Amino acid sequence: MTEKNFSGKYGPRYGRKIRARVSEVEEKQRAKQECPKCGTTAKRLGPGIYECPKCGKFTGGAYHI
């Protein structure tokens, strides 16, 4: 299996489509995010809060910028 499956933690519960949607969202949220101002890698601190080492904290989407 080459692609990461984040919804495996739910096992057979909740149905296949719901687990697939959760897996998509969690994959996007854990991916490397770029700062919109300077282009360096930003770290996700919480829902909608990101931190760039050069620019400081900024806000964006809940799961990805």
Residue 61 amino acid letter: G
pLDDT at 3: 52
Residue 64 has pLDDT above 80, yes or no: no
Residues 6+ apart with CB under 8 A from 63: 25, 28, 29, 47
Residue 54 has pLDDT above 90, yes or no: yes
Does the domain at residues 32-65 carry the CATH identifier 3.40.50.150?
A: no
What confidence tier does 51 reach under pLDDT thresholds 50, 70, 90? very high
Q: Which tens digit of pLDDT belongs to each residue from 1-35?
A: 445 666 778 888 888 899 999 888 888 888 888 89
pLDDT at 5: 67
